[in-house]
Structure 1
Amino acid sequence: MTFKIVLSGVTGRIGKQVLDQALQNPTITSVIALSRRPLPDLARHAKVKVLVLDNFRDYSDNVIAELAGADGCIWCMTTTAGDPVLELEYPRAFANAIAPSLASHGKRFRYLHLSGAFVERDQKKSLWMKADARKTKGRGETQMIKVASESTHGGLWETIIARPGMVVQRTSYTGGVSMWLAGSSGSFIGSDGLALALIDAVMHGSDQLLLPAMLLRRGQELAKLQG
């Protein structure tokens, strides 16, 4: 089995960890990293291709050709601020660019959309904290779920939503204590375990909605297997 994966947000805190785990995974033979700028540190990795996009709303024919044949994508380009451009316009533009090529390759494509634990899809619900950001991210989730029902990809697109809790560095003192206090709730999750869980979901499939406790449990299981 070989796997070609597309990653966005690879310079962010979570995206960097996902990229690192993808590079260590022998089944992943090709990593397409979408970036705003060149990433010279990745030049030594034979299985990485960095695609520099000046505008994440616009995908050239050359970029689309590089994306063709991908098996999945982990979209890590997100922030807690709920920026509509990041949460809505950029992932929608990616779907518009790659979806038409899926039918010609005839294989399922899993798109994993990184979201957050307290995201709200109900746009009419009254919220007392960070309402705009949570609802904007909720609209992003709904938008990308609907892509799976569109006709452009011939029924080959699958959307997975991941809602991790607070992401911490498990090896740091603060991160370790936070995870110990939170127990199995998933309120806190190590970035390494989260990356393992995200990669596993996009490679092997999962529930459509991955909640904090589910991500924590799967990440811990995979870390044990990894040794």
Structure 2
Amino acid sequence: MPIKVILFGATGMVGQGVLRECLRDDRVESVLAVGRTPLGVEHPKLRELVHPDLAALMSLPATRAQLTGYDACFFCLGVSSAGMGEETYRRITHDLTLTAARALSSWNPGSTFIYVSGQGTDSTEQGRIKWARIKGRTENDLLTLDLDAYMFRPGYIQPLHGITSKTRLYRAAYVVTKPLYPVLRRLAPNHVTTTEQLGRAMIAVATEGARVHVLETEDINGTASRL
């Protein structure tokens, strides 16, 4: 049966890739993109919910009706921790994610929630690397909710089909590394993936589940290959 999906972060590089796959895949009936800015994309499957403050949006009385009745949430919203204080990064990475997830666990209990984390995330929450520690806490807290929660931990992500990062430094890096991707894929296949594979893997997990709730790059790529 086709699924209805809520997508956070559809303007980012990963979110763009996930949205593309959702709109192309018959397993997805509809997509509600939740974000701060309009996508500028029109498609029969796609509807948007735009608000400048997503944390405030989740507390509005009208939001519940708009986000109820969905089978899965793909949470692709995220920021780089570079140059950002720990409290600010925690507020965006952990607090906003949990605000959305807690609301959805109440409105759509038992639904699938897929969180894009990252390779090297620290599940112990004790390490010295800020982003890894905070994402570890986010993962752990998500797993306590009334959701069928899955953590995606991709390593290097190659953007495909004209998709670009919103971060200038990352855009430049992808231009430089693009010719090297075939080599990276051969030398370290368990550490590289693409925006297309991420999107396909999310749809597969939302429709069929997965054997583990924390998916590293190898798991993501294997799941994406499911028919």
TM-score, L = length of structure 2:
0.82
Q: Which residue of 1 aligns with 2:96?
A: 90
Shift of 1:111: 0.4
Q: Which residue of 1 aligns with 2:124?
A: 122
Q: Which residue of 2 aligns with 1:159?
A: 149
Q: Distance in 2 between matches of 1:47 and 1:168?
A: 26
Say which SS state the counterpart of residue 111 (structure 1) adopts.
Answer: strand
Question: How many equivalent residue pairs?
Answer: 202
Percent of paired sites with the same residue: 23
Say which SS state the counterpart of residue 108 (structure 2) adopts.
Answer: helix
- Supply the AA of the counterpart residue of 1:161: M
Give the 3 Å change call, closer, same or farther, for CA 71–12 of structure 1 in structure 2.
same
Shift of 1:98: 2.4
Shift of 1:16: 0.2
Say which SS state the counterpart of residue 185 (structure 2) adopts.
Answer: helix
Task: Report if aligned partners of 1:3, 1:27 keep a CA contact under 8 Å in 2.
Answer: yes
Q: Which residue of 2 aligns with 1:101?
A: 107
- Residue-by-residue CA offset, 1:2-27 (whole Å, 9 max, x unaligned): 21101111011111000000001112
Say which SS state the counterpart of residue 147 (structure 1) adopts.
Answer: coil
Q: Which structure has the higher relative contact order (CA within 8 Å, separation 6+)?
A: 2
- Supply the AA of the counterpart residue of 2:202: L
- Residue-by-residue CA offset, 1:65-101 (whole Å, 9 max, x unaligned): 1110000111111234282122211111112322222
Task: Report if aligned partners of 1:169, 1:175 keep a CA contact under 8 Å in 2.
Answer: no
**Structure 2 residue 195 is the aligned partner of structure 1 residue 205:** no
Q: Which residue of 1 aligns with 2:144?
A: 146
Shift of 1:170: 6.0
TM-score, L = length of structure 1:
0.82
- Residue-by-residue CA offset, 1:168-202 (whole Å, 9 max, x unaligned): 1368422222212213xx21112211221122112
Unaligned stretches of 5+ residues in structure 2: 162-177
Mapping for residues 71-86 of structure 1, pairs under 5 Å = 71-81=71-81, 83-86=89-92
Name which of structure 1's ranges 81-90 and 1-10 shifts more when overlaid on structure 2. Answer: 81-90
Q: Distance in 2 between matches of 1:49 and 1:9?
A: 14
Q: Which residue of 2 aligns with 1:191?
A: 195
Q: Which residue of 2 aligns with 1:153?
A: none
Q: Distance in 1 between matches of 2:19 and 2:44?
A: 14
> How well do the aligned residues superpose, as a CA RMSD in angstroms?
1.9
Say which SS state the counterpart of residue 157 (structure 2) adopts.
Answer: strand
Q: Distance in 2 between matches of 1:61 and 1:38?
A: 22
Give the 3 Å change call, closer, same or farther, for CA 102–190 of structure 1 in structure 2.
closer
Q: Which residue of 1 aligns with 2:14?
A: 14
